[in-house]
Amino acid sequence: MKYTYAYKTSDGVRHEDSMNASSRDEVFIELRKRGIKAIKVVAADGSKANGEVRGVRKRVVAVLIAIVALGVGVCAYLGGVLTGGSPESGIAFQTDQSRRQIIGDAAIIEKGIRNGWSDVFELEGERFLASFAIPGVKAGQRNTSEKEFIAALEFRREFSSDDSLEVRQIKAMVEGMKQEARRYLAAGGTVVEYGKRLTERQDAEITIYNRVKADIENARKTMSEAAFMTYWEKRNDELRNLGIKTIGLSDD
């Protein structure tokens, strides 16, 4: 089915476009990938089930979709900052492939980032990992002792039937990071070295995001609208392939 959607750019100008999709939810998911916050999505047949969406706090009701994982290209893109262990250990730091942006209710996600997902994880070691789980998002980093960290690695957290979409995602990411940490320690690394690598990876992702954002802001001032839209999509693809949040047209 064909859907028409509307959105506003940072200058307040309203734009409309269309796409083919199987449902409105699919349209919202695709627009979210592109960094577009739709204010209206309607079916071409004018179905009454379609309507306005105000703000970004509307809950996304959709099956958890596969997000492009961090892969070999991450190491190359980050200029090698993620490869190799400390000079002392020589242990390779393998990027975890479960980390991604969480989709769902923005209010729930913001609260989780702010409070360290303390209502999801009671183990301090898990909260520590959760603070590094979302690529390019710097939460209030927590401290953890080696004992607490090892205790977290020895514990497997299961999903509960009443877990929200957002909670299921953060649990899956933390479990993926536990596997990454176990591989690192099994190869001879230490907890302290692993924590240092997490910080380096997070800082590198934030640097990439800020650089792309600045490049897009400069391009907006110098390019035609058509050229800018092509450039904007290309740069967001770079972020998306790294699991880093994309730059919306209305972002400052």
pLDDT per position as a tens digit, 55-78: 333 333 332 223 333 333 343 334
Q: Is the pTM of this model over 0.85?
A: no
pLDDT per position as a tens digit, 135-164: 998 876 678 999 999 999 999 999 989 999
The angle subtended at Cα 91 by Cα 90 and Cα 94, nearest 5°, is 140
Q: Are strands 51-52 and 14-20 parallel, antiparallel or unpaired?
A: unpaired
Among 96, 117, 242, 239, which Cα is nearest to 168's? 117
Q: Is the pLDDT of residue 124 over 90?
A: yes
In angstroms, the CA 191 to CA 198 distance is 11
pLDDT at 39: 77
User: 194, 185 in Cβ contact below 8 A?
Assistant: yes
Using only C-alpha atoms, the chain has a radius of gyration, in whole angstroms, of 20
The mean pLDDT of 90-107, rounded to a whole number, is: 73
pLDDT at 43: 82
In angstroms, the CA 164 to CA 233 distance is 31
Task: Report DSSP state, residue 49.
Answer: T
When pLDDT is cut at 50, 70 and 90, the band that residue 35 belongs to is: confident
Residue whose tokens read 């002792």: 145
The mean pLDDT of 90-110, rounded to a whole number, is: 76
pLDDT at 96: 59
* 53: amino acid identity, one letter: V
User: 102, 64 in Cβ contact below 8 A?
Assistant: no
pLDDT at 70: 34
Q: Is the pLDDT of residue 90 over 80?
A: no
In angstroms, the CA 86 to CA 187 distance is 13
Query: CB-based contacts of 50: which residues, under 8 Å, 6+ apart?
Result: 3, 24, 41, 42, 43
Q: Which segments of the chain are extended strands (E)?
A: 2-8, 14-20, 40-43, 51-52
Which of 116-120, 174-178, 208-212 has the lowest average pLDDT? 116-120
When pLDDT is cut at 50, 70 and 90, the band that residue 24 belongs to is: confident
Q: Is the pLDDT of residue 194 over 90?
A: yes
Q: Is the pLDDT of residue 49 over 60?
A: no
pLDDT at 26: 82
